[in-house]
Structure 1
């Protein structure tokens, strides 16, 4: 049986595909899916440790290193963003039962106090193609404008100015 895993293209739009269920939230009000909170079942689970967010909002800049971790069964996706000097780099580390791939993209971007936009779309797909096993890991950035705010020390991304369907990244 062939396994084909297309790693949850992280949206930027950032392709930050947050595995979230709007009905279940952690105590810090971050959207997470429930599956006994371990990611070992059929539901994707956000395994990011949001305890680093804190509750106070200090002056922040979007420039920095940001990360989110998601899991489903034996699949784990670590999404990292590096934002600095007008460039956004997106790295997806995909792990399926010990088989690992890394997809990486970078593009110039314009950002201000509450939004950012990549100048041109970029995409990278890495693959494992062996007898009885296939896996792919994708990272992509597109030109959709994203908005951001901060929740304590954490970066909150959303696609429109309503703060809906948000993805929360921790500094690392």
Structure 2
């Protein structure tokens, strides 16, 4: 291997090492672990220091006097809590009666129709409501909501909403 190629290879490896070190340094700086992890990298104190300057070397940046009415004992800024989003009302099209409780996404219980017989999917929580469809025995369904006494659940089967009697469902 020629000396020119060796020099080029050494330079390439040196650049790669510097590049990786820069990425690690930036990650540590952004996550706050490089400065001890006491506070995030975007605090007012760290943003007032220009790039390349040391905060310890500039006494004006570290010896600031609080303005009148400011509390000098606590410099940490409390994060503003995120507002809780209001649940959007759910309307299950095609039902004669809407559920009183609607399960949140990820909290919906799974059931299996009993293996002995098919079940009638109904427009409301009761056998006196119209039959919407029939669900084959052993079919897995997910409850989307329930009535007040939790004896009937709303499910979606083949794109259609309906009610099933909970007593004929097995927890999955």
Q: Same fold (TM over 0.5)?
A: no
Q: TM-score range by the shorter chain?
A: under 0.3
Instruction: Considering fraction of residues, name the structure with more strand.
Output: 1
Return the structure number with greater relative CO, CA threshold 8 A, min gap 6: 1
Instruction: Considering fraction of residues, name the structure with more helix.
Output: 2
TM-score, length of structure 2 as denominator length: 0.22
